[in-house]
Amino acid sequence: MEGDIGLWGVPLAILGGAIRVSTPFIFVSLGETITERSGRINLGLEGTLVFGAMAAYAIAVETGSPWIGVLAAMVAGAGFGLLHGWICSFPKVNDIAVGIALMLFGMGLAFFFGKPYIQPSAPNLPAIPLGDWSSLPQVRAALNVNVLFLVGAALALALWWAFKNTKIGLIVRVVGDSADAARAMGLSPNTVRLFATAAGGALAAIGGAYLSLYYPGSWNERLSSGQGLMAVALVIFARWNPLGCFAAALLFGGAGALGPALQSVGVTQGYYLFYAAPYVLTLIVMIAASSPGRALAGAPGELSITR
């Protein structure tokens, strides 16, 4: 049979899957990196992601343009971020508890507003066929790269640069590492964190938009499989470094593609176990990164999990 490449299909499918599956991870983890670098944790990004997916899908259906859908998701995500940041600016409020509440709130709201959009189909986000040079359909499928993946890669690079070379980047790091120092400089930690959380929410919502508008490419209530939560673990794994987030997202994406890849080459037994790979990886990452005796290297000093 032409195009039958046997077991080579597995690594190829994992590569393609890594690119496809990793995109939401990239956006959520970059968003969470901005938020955490400012000294707050937003665990509500799972809810933001689901709501972003719904908002993007609904607006794309209504307007016929997937890009307006993405924009709408960003606005909604920023709104969730602002809400989180605003609640956390009150004294003695725990950012993790607020995050969990907002996660459930975002998902509930998305299911409520999303009911009428389960049936209609929305226009998809465009992909760039980078694999056209090959005659193998597997290669072409694997290298059919969505625009948002490339945007995510560029964003990771831009953030990495910005944390070192821009005033805003340094201010976010100052606030995240020492609120006292920030106050002594006349900065308001709460304001900086408010905007950092809003930016994080907007990026996470793009991740959601990708889910509903490209892969898997439809809106339903089981769309997310915990990407928003796993991204938090991923940020720790990446040591709050945007480039590390990109690499870690690819790794998680690849792990997520393991199950489908095995299935596609005809493994019929036990591939469900491999569907659990990303979750097992999350656990392993958390265990490897934890230690009873020392603080995490590279962690922002103001983060509630490291204090």
Partner 1 sequence: MNAQTVPAVGVEAIGMTMRFGGFTALDDVTVKVPAGSFHALLGENGAGKSTLVKCMMGFYTPTSGDMVVNGREAVIASPKDAGALGLGMVYQHFTLVPSLTGEENLVISRENAPAVIDWGKERRDLKSFMERMPFKIPLEQPVSALAAGEKQKLEIVKQLYLGRRFLVLDEPTSVLTPGEAEEMLGLVRGMTRRGELTVLMISHKFHEVTAFADDVSVLRKGKLTGRGRVANLDRRKMAAMMIGDQAIAALDQRAPTPADAVSVLEVNAVKAKDRSGLKSIEIDGLKVKAGEIVGVAGVSGNGQKEFLEVLAGQRAREAGEIRVKNASYEATREQSRKLNVRFIPEEPLRNACAPKMTVAENIAFRTFDLDKDGKPASWISARAIRDYATSLIAQFKVKTASLSSPIQSLSGGNVQRAVLARELSGAVDLLIVSNPCFGLDFAAVAEIRARIMKARNGGAAVLLMSEDLDELLELSDRILVMSDGQLVYETPIAQADLHVIGEHMAGKH
Residues near partner 1 (CB under 8 A): 165-168, 170-171, 173-174, 177-178, 180-182, 184-186, 291, 293-295, 297-298, 300-301
3-state SS assignment for residue 41 = coil
Q: Pick the closer one to partner 1 by CB: 124 or 178.
A: 178
Query: What SS3 class is residue 237?
Result: helix
What Rg, from alpha-carbon coordinates, does the chain have?
A: 20
Query: Which is closer to partner 1, CB of 115 or CB of 164?
Result: 164
Question: Please, which residue, 154 or 181, has the CB nearer to partner 1?
Answer: 181
Q: Which is nearer to partner 1, 266 or 293 (CB)?
A: 293
- Using CA atoms, how far apart are residues 205 and 215, in angstroms rounded to an integer? 14
| Minimum distance, C-beta of residue 74 to partner 1, in the bound complex (Å) | 22
Query: What is the closest distance, in whole angstroms, from the C-beta atom of residue 104 to partner 1 in the complex?
Result: 33
Distance CA(262)–CA(26), nearest Å, equals 24
- Nearest approach in angstroms of CB 2 to partner 1 is 53
The CB-of-242 to partner 1 minimum distance in angstroms stands at: 15
In the structure encoding, which two tokens stand for residue 6, read together? 């046997």
Q: Are 45 and 69 in contact (CB under 8 A)?
A: no
Residue length, the chain?
307
Considering the complex, state which of residue 154 and residue 168 has its C-beta at the smaller distance from partner 1: 168
Minimum distance from CB of 304 to partner 1 (Å)?
17
What is the four-CA torsion angle of 90, 202, 245, 297, rounded to 10 degrees?
-10
